[in-house]
Each structure stands twice: as structure tokens, then as C-alpha cells.
Structure 1
Amino acid sequence: MKKQIGFLMALLAFAAHSAERKPDIVVVLCDDMGYSSVGCFGGEIQTPNIDRLADTGMRFSQFYNCAKCTSTRISIMSGQYEGRAGGRALKHSVSMGEALRPLGYRTIAVGKWHLDEKKDPTQYGFDRHFGHLNGLCNYFTGNEHYWKNGKPFKKFPKDFYATDAFTDFSIESIKESIAEAPERPFFLYLAYNAPHGPLHCKQQDFEKYAETYKVGWDKIRAARYQRQTEMGLIDPKWNLSLRPDFIPTWDQLPEPEKAVQAKIMAAYAGIVDNVDQNVGRLVEYLKEAGRWENTLFIFLSDNGASPFMNPKFKNREPWDPASTINVGVGWANADNTPFGWFKQNQHEGGISTPAIVHWPATIKEQGTINDEPLHVMDVLPTLLDVSGGRYPKSFPDREIRAPSGKSFLALLQGENKKIHDELFFQYSINRALRVGDWKIASARNGPWELYNLADDRTETQNLATGFPERIKAMQARWHEMAKSVTKVNDKYSKPVGDSIIEWGKDQKNVKKKDPRQGTPGNFHEMGKKKKK
């Protein structure tokens, strides 16, 4: 009897201790992945592992970013609006590593950094690091910007593939942390460069989708929209945003162009498929290690799909390291279904991307879709909330500003709570402000547009002419926030113009015909050498 009582007390003590232990944290950030890429957000790409996270976790249908790689990374890393954080060097904020390491976390940064390229993440509070400091890399060969644990990394194996290598290092670092201190929680920031261009895809992943996209982007987009409405992600009263007139219908393309475009999207799909495989590997390891039940796992993307086409396109296979293909505007439009516009723009297609949170120990209403508007700057405040910490008020050699992000822990716990009254957006000459369900947006310095997102989340009905006073008040608020809250450069906070600035007029060495960032060219012709 005494043995039974002793065993019961030990079991209760262990349970209490487990409950007290801070959760392990994993934040996965994909690159240039549009709203409908993964299956649980309407896509046809095979992503069973990511979909399972959604089925047993929580999807967020209105999770916003900063529409650009660096801007989003500054914001998610600091818990601030991008302009408020103090640039890539985070002069007015702290990094995730600097905030969580003092709370007892082993901090690990992997993949694309794209912040202060003069310093690697080990100088920003991370114990372990592997990845490239710049904005893009060759998936098969790496580049000169790779660093590992504070030193340049140059020895790339023959079978190197960036997505696989990032996952390998993540698992190795977690294993090392558990071996050294089993009770110590870990924080993993895993920023895949995928599916950012160039679209380097393994041949076996490409072949899964070699036939899929021959139906064209019009049918793919319609099918994704249909699935989104059926799964309750999109309200059926929100019309699918119109295909811009600068994107031809699929039937208008010549047959050789159709073949090339189908191949390009198959490469993109294969890259996303590979991301899913690697997410599955990471999850499986966490389960085997006994850490899964108390791991807060967040899956995000940094901005909407990119419309840019490499003018130096080489007509090569996507598994050839010399290939430089990008997804292009036609497929980017499909990948951002049901929204319009793209990466850089502050319309929904640029700033709204997939968001999934999984945490078995806390999320009880599994498989739900939460419609509360959130922002990447809310991630760090949430992590501090779940780990019992606070945002530092001071830090050596920096002037810390109070964070703009807010914790959404209450939503994970099942509460119905409003997180933001208003959200500010700006990148270059694109801007927006959301107040409640109302949103104003300006693309490429064009006139303000007005939308009621409750009735029209896909921004198909511009209400600007009917509500001049609302436009005036929200415009004034945008400028007020740009100056006092987000610290936007004066160059990008001037009053908007009467028309959209054509793409290329504000940037050097870029030749695009369309104001919304380029039309898909004939890649066959671009890939051929010109006759002298």
C-alpha cells in the first residue's frame, strides 16, 4: 500500500512538474507562399502534414504580414511594426532570441535571415544557427552568404538541398538541447527560403505535378476558390477577385507557352510539397522525442505570392542548379486565391497568407477556423505570454520602443477576444489601414480605395465614392500613425496620387509594361540566345 501511495505521489509530482515546464516553441516561416498554396487553405498541392496541423489545431483566416520578405522578418522578429523596430539591426527592439533566451530557452535560428547581414543570428540572441544571411539562395548549391554557428559555411555536400538541410539542422539542434538539458525548453525559428525563386525543385517532387497544371491558371483558381468556400474559409458572398486584364486567359496563350507555364507551376508545387515533407519529418521527430504535446507550433508565410519574372530566365529543368525561373504573375494570381494583387501590395493578396497554430496542451477546439484579424508582429508578444515573460524595456546599445504587437494567447485558449482595433500597412509606395471591418488601400501610389471587408473581403467593390468622409478620416489616421506610431520614412508617407505609378518608373533596370508588376512573357523566347 505504501508503495502504491509513493508511486501515486511521484506520478502527481511528475504531472505537476510537466505542467509547469514552459512549452517548446517552433515557428516555421515560409517565403513567398500565397494564401491558397496548401491544402487546408484550398490548394491542390499535396500537403498532408501541414493539413494535419490544421485538422488538430487552429487556422487563422485573417493573419496579416508586411507584404515583403525583410519587412515581415523585422516585424515577426521584433514584435513591432516594421518601421518602429529600428530597421534590420533592430535598433529600437529586441529579437525573438534576445527575448526568449533569458527565460531559459535554448534558441535556434535556421534558414533565411534577411535582417542585419553584417551579423549572424548568434549575435542576436540565438544559441545555434545555420542558414543564409541574404534574401535568396540556390537550393542545390547554397551561396557565399551561408553561416553556421557564428562562422562562414562553405562545405556544401553534393546532395545538398536547402529545405532538407534546414530541417536536418533543426532536428540536430533540438536533439543536442534535449541531451544537454532535458527539462530546458527550446525555441526554433525555422525560416525556409521555399518557395521563393529561383524555383529549384527535386525531379521526383516535380514529377508528381507534371500534368496537374496543364489545365491552366483559370481553372486552378476557380477550383481553389470553390474548396475555400466549402471548407468555410471564405464566405460565399465574397466574389472571387477578377483576373486582372494584364493577365491573359489560359486559352489565349500559345501552346508552347502553356507548356512552359504548366512546368513552372509544377516546379513551384514540388517545392511546396517538399516543405510539407520536411514539416512532417520535424513533427515526427518531436513526437518520438516526447515533446509534441507541449510544443506550440506556428506555421506562417511572409507575404503573398510574387509576380516577378526573372528577365534573365534560362530555359532549363527546375532540378538544374543553373535554372533561374520564377513563378510569374499568372500563377501568383492563382496562388493568392481568392484575393487580388501580390507581394509588396497592401491589398489582401499581398498581406494575407496561411496561418496555422498547433498546441495540443492548450488548443481544445481542434480543427477550427478563427477569423480574428492578427499580424505577424503579434507572434513575439504571444510567445512571451505563454512563456511567462515580458518585452524588455531596455537593452544594451538600443533605445527600446514599446511593442505594437499583442498576444493572441486568449484565442488559443478558446476565448472570443478582439485583439486589434486598427492595423497599419505600408511597403514602399503601397499602403493600407484597417479599422474594424473597414479598409482603405492604395497600390503603387494610386488613389485610396475603400472596402468593407465583412461584406467584401476579396476587395471587388470599391466604395470610395460613396463614403468620402470615411475615406478622409481613415486617410488622416494613416498619416498620423505613419508619423507617430510606425515611423515611416517621409519619402513613403506623402499624399497618394491620382493614378498608379507604372512599374519600373520608380526603380532602375526594371522594364515592365504593367502597373501591377509585369505580365508573363514568352519564356521560350527569353530562354533563347539572341542571334548576333
Structure 2
Amino acid sequence: MTMSRSGPVQRSVLPIPDGRSPTPTAYDAKDPEAKFPPIAPLRPPAGAPNVLVVLLDDVGFGASSAFGGPCQTPTAERLAAQGLKYTRFHTTAICSPTRAALLSGRNHHSVGMGGITEMATSAPGYTSVRPDNCAPLAQILKLNGYATAQFGKCHEVPTWETSPAGPHDRWPTGSGFEHFFGFIGGETDQWYPTLVEGTARAAPWGTPQDGYHFTEDLADRAIAWVRQQKALVPDKQFFLYFAPGATHAPHHVPKAWADKYEGRFDHGWDRQRELTFARQKELGVIPADAQLTQRHDEIPAWDDTAEDMRPILARQMENYAGFLEHVDHHVGRLVDALEELGVLDDTLVYYIVGDNGASAEGSLQGTFNEIISLNGMGELETPEFLRSRLDQLGGPESSPHYAVGWAHAMCTPYQWTKQVASHWGGTRNGTIVRWPRGVRAQGELRHQFHHVIDIAPTVLEAAGIPQPTLVNGISQEPMHGTSMLYSFADGQAAERHETQYFEIFGNRGIYHKGWSAVTKHRTPWQTVGDVGIAFDDDKWELYDGARDATQAHDLSRELPDKLHELQRLFLIEATRYNVLPLDDRSFERLLPEVSGKPSLVEGKRQVLLPGMGGFTELHIVNLRNCSWSLTAQVVVPEGGANGAILKIGGHIGGWSFYFKEGRPTYCYNLFGITRSYIRGTRAVPAGEHQVRMEFAYDGGGIGKGGNVTLCIDGAEAGMGRIEHTEPLAFGSVYSDVGRDGLPHVTEDYGSGDNAFTGQIKWVQLEAGEDSHDHLVPPENFVRMAMAKQ
């Protein structure tokens, strides 16, 4: 709130200083001379629009029907018909960097996000920590009088700051958003999401059986927020950032949406590329003379797939298409709500169809439960296994991802996919702009080159807000993006974003005035990629965008001087924006002792106390591939106790230690396929007691089994065996002391309350000294980390 002042508001220094209070000129407030200017609430400049930015997840250029793809997206088509379609808009090729670049207006390495947060290092371009001299768009808008809210995915918080203990400075509400509802991290289960409101854990309103789905909940929350804003402060503009987890894996969608596509992909991914390519030419989103790039040898041909796998592979794509149409439908509900409120035409809408290319992280055959393949045990998913669960694909029992071939097809007409920052398949995402007051044209195409860093400066220019020179007393780095406003009115205007570097995991490229020079250093589904190949030995390719819109014809041999010119330019840009030193390490970047990032959990022992909750497996001591124990000090009431002491994981993998009919019980859930139960031989009597579970690991490798012993007050009270364990992770599911929240690990209790009916004084976890983590192949760790972005 600012005091009245004469003259224009100075907005280059934020927060905007309050106006000087006038000196009193009267003794009595009733004196006619005792008048002061009214208090003027801070508002954006006159004519500033509301802003809605929609960012989908893992959608390739060739997926949405708005850009020629097979997945129906009527909301995207509707907005495009009333606005503009940008056919050469780019992201960074992966999640965290794209989001950090969008929200800051700066190149991703300059805001410390050279990779996903899980692979942060202490190098300036890779810390995952946004520097204070790069204030994000939400903060700038809030300090200029906008109401701000984010709904959906936030994967920009450093991993060591993601626990309930914070700090929360880099969570959305510490980065300019007054309200946040969504999840922190790379992905979440759409049926059982790990939700946060503000900085506190939140719970879904129901279960899948009740009709709950995360995307629908997000849309409901966003609609409720904007309705409240316009009801209570109708003269205050809003910035609404809607970033659902769809269509990132797991591909969860109500079955009816997938069934709409039954039989539509039986022709396979190679034919789908041809069909999409033809449709893209009809729509004009690629030039009439464009050529379809070749499928690389690393990606199998559809005709080479096994006959018994084809119905499974086709269903994976049906499920994905339903997922994309489903999220577009709920974006449409949000747009409808703005229209009903009468504010849609005063809203600058950006609909960015994907934060990178389609994801090729689902393996060459796809998966029913991605946790199986991420743990390096994909051999469990035989054709028979997949076929037996085909009707459950996409439902709450699954955690699916489609095969690499479909990801490639969803990036038509370009080479490669997500993670490959060198080629357009990884970085080109269809984008739609609608703003009737600022965009007179309807249904037109825009072919100027643009990048996600252009969003923030465009919004500020549209709002009449200058880029600040000082924020909270800190001099600001100018935004690196170029406003797109010039192109709104003129489709023939010369493009102004003339140079842009790209780099993710050593895949790198440079665009300059129509030309691009690129080199792929790593293949997404081969998680250790080309590690060991020197950067100087990478093969660079050269493309002339004026004659080759799809990067189909490599000119590096014909024009070596032009290639060298662009390679030098890449190094100049890389030096300018903190890209150097290039880092193609994989496993090493996950290790705090090597990467230089803080460790969230130290040592082999941890004590948890009653009332603690909302943490994930990431936030507890590592209990994998070793012997370990859980000890709990409890008070049992008369008549015995029931309910959970502690669980880690959920329905697709995890373990739970709890009381059942007064007896201590341990359940190990292996990928949702089998559940092993070790039950106490006697009940724990009333009073204070110590219960303990000891797991004696077999050793000899990772993912092995072991013997379980249950004890009451130090005396043995049950034994059993676990034949196999999950070697790496169970996925991101909330854990609480004294409760097994949804989704449950065990089937011993239903969806009702399973809180411990006695009193828990403390729970201690202790890992043994016989860890076999050194036997875990580095690519397995990388696969797990890379899937969570």
C-alpha cells in the first residue's frame, strides 16, 4: 500500500517507497484544515492486463492438435483461433531450467539452474540457487500491485531446502507468489499427489474412488482463487501461473479419456510421425517445403517391435493422449471461469504447450510402474506382466510411462526429445498468445524465433512496468529475454531475439540469425550417455534455418567456416551466462561430497518425533541395500493399540511398521506386485514399551532380501523374511510419524484413519555399517534423478 503522491509512481526501485507524509497543520482533527490525501492502495499502471501463464509438462511440439498432433486440445485451438500461434518458441529442453528461465527472464545458468535441482553443484551456473540480483517476475509484479498465485509444479527449490523445515525463501511464496498450491519437485502421483499449500502440507479432498484427480483439483483451486480476487478487489490485476504436473509421468488419467483414443495408434509411431507431419504442413506450423527428419538408429522401428508388444505399446499412447486432452480440458475450465468473470479479454494469456520436448525416459518398451524400471529392474515387466495389467494402465494401481518411440513421434518433425538441448525436438514447444486488447489479429501464425526467457520482459512491457534497477536494495541483472510485444501486431516484423545458446547435460547448441550449430553429447534413455567422450570430440552439426526448418540437412562439412564461427559464438555466450565449466558428470553430481551441495540428511542415525510429517524418503537416513533397524518408544492403552508407527513409500512400493490387533507388524511392498508381512507372535501389553524391527540384509549386491526380526522390550516377538528389496527409491510419497497416509503401503487397513491409537514418544532409524551402495551402478542413480524432472 502506498500513500498518495503527486506525479507518476516511480517503479524502477522496488519496493516502491511510500510517499512522504505531509506535516500536520492543525491541532484538532475536526478542523477543516486538518485534511490529508486519501490512502491509495498500490495498483499496477493504468491499462495493465491480468496475466495467465499456462505451462504444460513434457509435451512435444508434435503432440497437440493445435500444432498438428494426434492429441485433441480444443482449448489450445480455441485460444489460438482468437489469438496467435508461435511456431518457433523454445524452452531449455528440461524442467527446472525452463521454469527458472521463464520466471526470471534470464538464461537458466545465470540463475543457477544449469540442470535439475537434484544434480546441483557448487559451480555458479549449477547451484540451483537463484541469485538475489535476478528478482523473479512474480516478485516484480507483486511489488507493483499485482495479486500473484501459482498452482501446480515447482521444481526450482534446492533439494536441501525441500523438507518441512525449509528454509522457504526459494519456495513460491518466498519468490513473489502470495499464494501457492501444488507440489515441490519434479513429479507427483496424479491420484495421490504430495500437496503443499503455501509452505505447509495439504491433503487431497478425496481418493480416486471418490473421483479425485490432481489436475481437476488444481483447476478448481485456481478458479476459486481468481473468483475471490475479482469479488474482493475487482480493480486489482492478477498474475496467475498455472503449471500442472500433466503430462509428466506417471501418465495418470481417468480411463474414459484414454478410451476415446482406442485403436487410433495401432499403426505405430513411424506412421504417426508421417500423419502428424502432413497435418503440420496443412496448418502452416511448418513450411510447405520442410522435410521430416529421420528416426535415429537408437530408436526402434515400429515394424521391428514384437507382435505381442504392439497392443501394449498402442495403449500407452492412447493413455498419454487422453492425459493431454484431459489437462487441456481443465485449462479450458479456467479460461471459461475468466470469461464468466468478464476479465478474459483484459487478460494476457500465454499457453505454453510443454516445458521441453516429449519425455523419452520411459525406456524402449515403456512401463506400467516407472518405479520398477527406475530401480533398474525392468526385466520384471515382461510382455505377460504388462498385458495382464493393461486395463489398469493409467489408473491408481499404475505409474506408467510410454515408450521412447512415442516420445520421438510426439516431437515430430524434429530430431530427438526432452533433455537434448542441441536439437529442436528437445527445445521447440508450441506456444499460444491471446490478448484481445493487445493482439488485434486472430488465428494468425507467428514465425519469429523466441525463447522462454522472453515471457517476463513481454509481460512487463505489456503492463507498462519497467525492469527494476534495484529490488530490496540489490542492483539487478537486466533480463536477458526480448519482449515479444513487437510481433503481436506484425507477423512480418524482423525477429529481435537473434542469438540464443542451449545447454543441458553437455547437449549444446547455438542459434544465431537463422543458423544453428548443435551437438548431442548424451542420449536421454541411456542414462550414463556418452560420459567419457571429451567435449572436444563431440560431432557438431550445422543447419541453415532459412532453407531447412526442421534441421534435416547437416551442412557442417560443406560450410566448416560457418560452423566454426557459431562454435566460437557458443563459447562466448557460454562464458557470458555461467555455462562453463561444462559438466557431463552424472552420478557424481548427485553426491554432496563430490558436487559441493549441502546434504539434507547426515550420518546413519535419525530420530523422528510425534507430530512430524510431510516428509519424503529424500528426507530420512538412507536405509537401502544394508541392514537397518527401527526402534519406537510407545505407550499402549488398555485394550491394546492399533495403527501406524511409520511408513515410507506407498502403494507402488514401500514399507510400513504398525500395530495390527495389538501386535507389531512389518509390511514390505515390492513394486505393488507382492506384499510380505511379518507379524508379531504376541500383543504388546498396556503401558510404556519399546518395539523394534531389525532387518538383516543378505548382502552380495543390491536389491537383495533379508531376515526381519520383531522385538518387544528387547525380546524376540516374531521373525520372517523379505526375498527382494527395491534398491533405489519408492517415489515421492509423504510420510508421517504415527500414520500411514494415502496411498497405503499395506492392505491391512482400508482408506480410513489408521493413526496410532497409543502414544509415540520417539522413533529411531539406524542404518548398519554394511551398506552396499557402492555396488549400485551409477546409471541407476542417474536414471532415478532424471525421471523426477
1:32 aligns to 2:64 (yes or no): no
Q: CA deviation at 1:510?
A: 6.8
Q: What is the CA distance between 1:108 and its match in structure 2?
A: 0.7
Aligned partner of 2:176 among 110, 113, 125: 125
Aligned position for 2:566: 474
The answer to whether the 8 A contact 1:479-1:493 is kept is: no
Give per-residue Cα distances to partners, 1:266-323, cap 9 Å, x unaligned: 1110110101111211111111100011111101121000111241566442333242
Identify the residue that residue 97 of structure 2 maps to in structure 1.
Answer: 71
CA–CA separation in structure 1 for the residues paired with 2:224 and 2:156: 24
Q: Distance in 1 between matches of 2:518 and 2:473?
A: 37
3-state SS of paired residue (1:480): helix
Structure 1 residue 115 corresponds to structure 2 residue 156: yes
Q: Deviations over 1:328-362 (max 9, x none)?
A: 21001100000011111120100101100011112
Q: CA deviation at 1:398?
A: 5.8
AA partner of residue 54 (structure 1): A
2:394 alignment partner in structure 1: 319
Identify the residue that residue 417 of structure 2 maps to in structure 1.
342
Match of 2:507 among 420, 430, 452: 430
Please state which structure has a larger fraction of its residues in strand. Answer: 2
Query: Which residue is 1:499 aligned to?
Result: none
Q: For residues 411-426 of structure 1, what are the structure 2 equivalents within 5 Å?
A: 411-414=487-490, 416-426=493-503
Is this contact kept in 1: 2:502–2:509, CA < 8 A?
A: yes
Task: Tell me how far 1:210 sits from its aligned partner.
Answer: 2.1
Q: Report SS of the residue matched to 1:71.
A: helix
Q: 1:308 — aligned with what?
A: 361
Please tell me the residue identity of whatever aligns with 1:467.
L
Which amino acid letter does the alignment assign opposite residue 194 of structure 1?
A: A
| 3-state secondary structure, aligned to 2:478 | coil
How much does 1:511 deviate? 9.7
User: Residue in 2 aligned with 1:530?
Assistant: none
Paired residue secondary structure (2:546) = coil
Q: Which amino acid aligns with 1:443?
A: K
How far off is 1:220 after superposition? 1.3
Distance 1:46 1:449, change over 3 A: same
Partner of 1:48: 74
Aligned to 2:134: 93
2:404 aligns with 329
Provide closer, same or farther for how the CA distance between residues 19 and 77 of structure 1 changes in structure 2, counting only shifts above 3 A.
closer
Q: Is the 8 A contact 1:24 1:294 kept in 2?
A: yes
Count of residue pairs brought into register by the alignment: 484
* Cα distance change on mapping 1:155 and 1:247 into 2, 3 Å: closer
Inter-CA distance 510–252: structure 2 relative to 1 (3 Å threshold):
farther
Kept in 2, the 8 Å contact 1:110–1:129? The answer is yes
The 3 A distance-change label for structure 1 pair 121 and 291 is: same
Match runs of 1:355-434 below 5 Å? 355-396=431-472, 400-414=476-490, 416-434=493-511
**Quick check: 1:338–1:458 contact (8 Å CA) kept in 2?**
yes
- Residue 156 of structure 1 and its aligned partner are, at CA, apart by 4.4
55-64 or 393-402, larger mean C-alpha shift:
393-402
What is the correspondence of 1:259-298 to structure 2 with a 5 Å cutoff? 259-298=311-350
Q: Does 1:139 align with 2:215?
A: no
Structure-2 separation of matches of 1:277 and 1:481: 40
TM-score, scaled to structure 2: 0.59
Q: Displacement, 1:63?
A: 0.2
Matched to 1:84, the amino acid is: S
The letter of the residue matching 2:276 is R
Ranges in structure 1 where 5+ consecutive residues have no aligned partner: 1-16, 495-505, 519-532
Question: Higher helix proportion, which one?
Answer: 1
Q: Matches of 1:27 and 1:459 in 2, distance apart?
A: 29
Q: How does 1:381-530 map to 2 (within 5 A)?
A: 381-396=457-472, 400-414=476-490, 416-444=493-521, 445=535, 446-484=538-576, 486-492=577-583, 508-509=779-780
Alpha-carbon distance in 1 for matches of 2:140, 2:99 = 15
RMSD: 2.3
User: Which has the higher mean CA deviation after the structures are superposed, 45-54 or 82-91?
Assistant: 82-91
Give the whole-Å Cα distance in 2 for the aligned partners of 1:401 and 1:380. Answer: 13
Query: 8 Å contact 1:74–1:85 — kept in the other structure?
Result: yes
How far is the alpha carbon of 1:493 from its aligned partner? 9.2
**Conserved 8 A contact 2:449-2:498:** no
The secondary structure found in structure 2 opposite 1:299 is: strand
Q: Secondary structure at the residue paired with 1:98?
A: helix
> Which residue of structure 1 lines up, in the alignment, with residue 199 of structure 2?
150
User: Does structure 2 conserve the Cα–Cα contact (< 8 Å) formed by 1:139 and 1:162?
Assistant: yes
Q: Is the 8 A contact 1:38 1:51 kept in 2?
A: no
Alignment-mate amino acid for residue 394 of structure 2: W
Structure 1 residue 173: Cα displacement: 0.7
Match of 2:269 among 206, 209, 217: 217
Tell which structure's C-alpha radius of gyration is larger.
2
Rounded to whole Å, the distance in 2 between the matches of 1:127 and 1:40 is 33
Tell me the distance in 2 between the aligned counterparts of 1:196 and 1:284. Answer: 24
- 1:498 maps to what in 2? none
> Given residue 468 of structure 1, which amino acid in structure 2 is its aligned partner?
P
Q: Distance in 2 between matches of 1:469 and 1:107?
A: 49
Which has the higher relative contact order, 1 or 2, with Cα contacts under 8 A spaced 6 or more apart?
Answer: 1
- Contact 1:364/1:414 (CA < 8 Å) preserved in 2? no
Cα distance between partner residues in 2 of 1:307 and 1:100: 36
CA distance in 2, matches of 1:477, 1:292: 42
The secondary structure found in structure 2 opposite 1:112 is strand
Counterpart CA distance in 2 for 1:210 and 1:292 is 35
Q: What is the CA–CA distance in structure 2 between the aligned matches of 1:489 and 1:19, rounded to whole Å?
A: 40
* Deviation of 1:75 (Å): 0.3
Amino acid across the alignment from 2:502: F
Cα contact 1:61–1:370 (8 A) shared by 2:
yes
SS at match of 2:265: helix
Q: Which moved more, 1:453-462 or 1:411-420?
A: 411-420
